Amino acid sequence: METFDWTEFWNIFFGNMSFAYLAANFLFFLIGAAAHFSWKLRNREKTGRTVPKKFNLMFMIKDNILRWLGVILVIFINIRFFEEIWGSPLTPFLALGLGYSIDSIIGNGKKTTEQLTPFKKAKEKLLNKYNDE
């Protein structure tokens, strides 16, 4: 019976990129995504019925956890397959811009899914919890 070759697995999973390349580009993607998220947070509708009356950090975290997980997954996929898709290496500037765009796209997707009944009810329940405090 053949043993599982973890080295080969990780080489396929991460491609032939170095850890430094992956980590640096991941950081630039995250900086871009964080810049977009903070811009949206500053310019949010503060009196809307979908946000607590007062800013609440725990509400923000619980309301956006799936968005952030989606951003992280899409960032990894972009870094891993960038050269195969576009035929050129990923630069820090591109990673920064793509990170900003990715958060925007996933944020719009989050907004759309919140209109679906099960998500809408969960959001209302979470909102009521933090408005009652």
pLDDT per residue as tens digits for the range 69-87: 888 999 999 999 999 988 9
Q: What is the pLDDT of residue 106?
A: 80
Compute CA distances 97 → 29, 35, 93, whole Å. 8, 10, 6
Q: 94: helix, coil or strand?
A: helix
pLDDT band at 1; cut points 50, 70, 90: low
**29 neighbors 79 (Cβ within 8 angstroms):** yes
The structure tokens 């959001």 sit at 123
For residue 66, what are the contacts with CB-CB under 8 A and spacing of at least 6? 110
Q: What angle do CA 18, 106, 43 make, to 5 degrees?
A: 115
pTM of this prediction? 0.72
